[in-house]
Amino acid sequence: MLVFWILATLMLAAALAFVLVPLLRTHGPAGPTAVEANLEVLRAQRREIEADVASGVLPGTARDEALAELVARADDDLAAREPASAPMRRPWVVAATLGVAIPALVLGVYLAVGSPRALDPPRAAAAAPGGTPDDQQIVAMVENLAAKVRERPQDAQGWALLARSMAALGRFQESADAYAHLSTLLPNDPQVLADWADALGMAQGRKLAGKPAELAKRALAIDPRHPKALALAGTAALDAGDFPLALKQWQTLAAALPPDSPDAAQVQQVIAEIRNRASQAGKPLTAAAPPPKAPAPDQAAGATITGTVALAPEIAGRVKGSETLFVFARAEGGSRMPLAIIRAGVGQLPLRFTLDDTQAMAPDRKLSGAQAVRVEARISASGNATPQSGDLLGLSPVVKPGARDVAITIDKVLQ
For residue 392, give the nearest of 378, 381, 382, 409 by alpha carbon.
378
Q: What residues are paired with 5 via a beta bridge?
A: none
Half-sphere exposure of 371 (CA within 13 A, CB side): 4
To the question of pTM greater than 0.75 for the whole model, the response is no
pLDDT score recorded for residue 308:
94
**Range ranked top by mean pLDDT from 186-195, 298-307, 350-359, 403-412:** 403-412
State the pLDDT at residue 336: 77
Q: Which whole number is the average pLDDT over 229-234?
A: 90
Q: List the beta bridge partners of residue 331.
A: 373
Q: CB neighbours (10 Å) of residue 64? A: 10
The number of helices, as runs of H, and strands, as runs of E, in the chain is 14, 8
CB contact set of 349 (below 8 Å; sequence gap of 6+):
309, 310, 311, 325
Q: pLDDT value at position 148?
A: 86
Within 13 Å, how many C-alpha atoms sit on residue 106's CB side? 13
Q: How much is the pLDDT for 129? A: 46
Considering only residues 315 and 79, tell me which one the structure prediction assigns the higher pLDDT: 315
Cα 53 to Cα 58: distance, rounded to the nearest angstrom: 5
Give the model confidence (pLDDT) of 83-112 as tens digits: 444 444 455 555 566 566 666 666 655 555
| pLDDT given for residue 123 in this prediction | 41
pLDDT of res. 5? 59
Residue 271, burial from CB neighbour count under 10 angstroms (0-12, 13-18, 19+): buried
More confident position, 51 or 178: 178
As to burial, measured by CB atoms within 10 angstroms (0-12 exposed, 13-18 middle, 19+ buried), residue 92 is exposed
Is pLDDT larger for residue 367 or for residue 24? 367
Partner residues linked to 406 by β-bridges:
307
Per-residue model confidence (pLDDT) at position 196: 92
Average pLDDT of the chain is: 75
Query: Any idea what DSSP says for residue 362?
Result: B
Contact 239, 277 (CB under 8 A): no
Locate the DSSP E strands across 268-414.
304-311, 324-331, 340-345, 351-356, 373-380, 392-399, 406-410, 412-413
Contact (Cβ atoms closer than 8 angstroms) between residue 308 and residue 287? no
Q: Can you give the pLDDT at residue 411?
A: 93
Q: Which helix (H) or strand (E) holds 218?
A: helix 211-222
Q: Quote the pLDDT of residue 30.
A: 46
pLDDT of residue 82 exceeding 50: no
Residue 68 pLDDT class (50, 70, 90 cuts): low
SS3 284: coil
Whether 302 and 370 have beta carbons less than 8 Å apart is answered as no
Residue 243, CA distances (Å) to 101, 271, 361, 378 in order: 78, 10, 16, 25
Sorting pLDDT into bands at 50, 70 and 90, what band is 177? Answer: very high
User: Is residue 359 scored above 70 in pLDDT?
Assistant: yes
CATH number of 299-413: 2.60.40.1120
Is the distance from CB of 277 to CB of 342 less than 8 angstroms? no
Domain ranges of the chain: 2-28+90-124, 34-79, 133-256, 299-413
Lowest mean pLDDT among 290-299, 325-334, 390-399: 290-299
User: What secondary structure does DSSP assign to 224-280, as a single string?
Assistant: TT-HHHHHHHHHHHHHTT-HHHHHHHHHHHHHHS-TT-TTHHHHHHHHHHHHHHHHH
DSSP per residue over 5-65, as a string? HHHHHHHHHHHHHHHHHHHHS----SS--HHHHHHHHHHHHHHHHHHHHHHTSS-THHHHH
| Confidence at residue 113, expressed as pLDDT on a 0 to 100 scale | 52
- Among the residue ranges 62-76, 283-297, 335-349, the one predicted with the least confidence is 283-297
Contacts of 180 (CB under 8 A, 6+ apart): 196
Same fold, 133-256 and 299-413: no
Residue 371 DSSP label: S
Asked whether 380 and 273 are in contact (CB, 8 A), the reply is no
Phi first, then psi, for residue 122 (nearest 5°) are -60, -40
Say which DSSP state 289 is in: P
Return the CATH number of the domain spanning residue range 133-256. 1.25.40.10
Q: At CA 247, angle to CA 370 and CA 228, rounded to 5? A: 110
pLDDT confidence of residue 87: 45
Q: Is 175 exposed, middle or buried (0-12, 13-18, 19+ CB in 10 A)?
A: buried
Q: Does residue 255 have a pLDDT over 80?
A: yes
Angle in degrees, 0-180, between the axes of helices 92-113 and 2-24, rounded to the nearest 10: 150
Provide the phi-psi class of 115: left if phi over 0, else alpha when psi is between -120 and 50, else beta: beta
pLDDT per residue as tens digits for the range 5-61: 555 676 766 666 666 666 556 554 444 555 565 666 667 777 777 776 676 666 666
With a pLDDT cut of 90, the percent of the chain lying above it is: 17
Average pLDDT for residues 289-302, to the nearest whole number? Answer: 40
Q: 135 versus 403: which is more confidently predicted?
A: 403
pLDDT score of 413 more than 60: yes
Whole-angstrom Cα distance, residue 365 to residue 178? 44
DSSP helix/strand/coil, 335: coil
Q: Is the pLDDT of residue 288 over 60?
A: no
Residue 119 has pLDDT above 80, yes or no: no
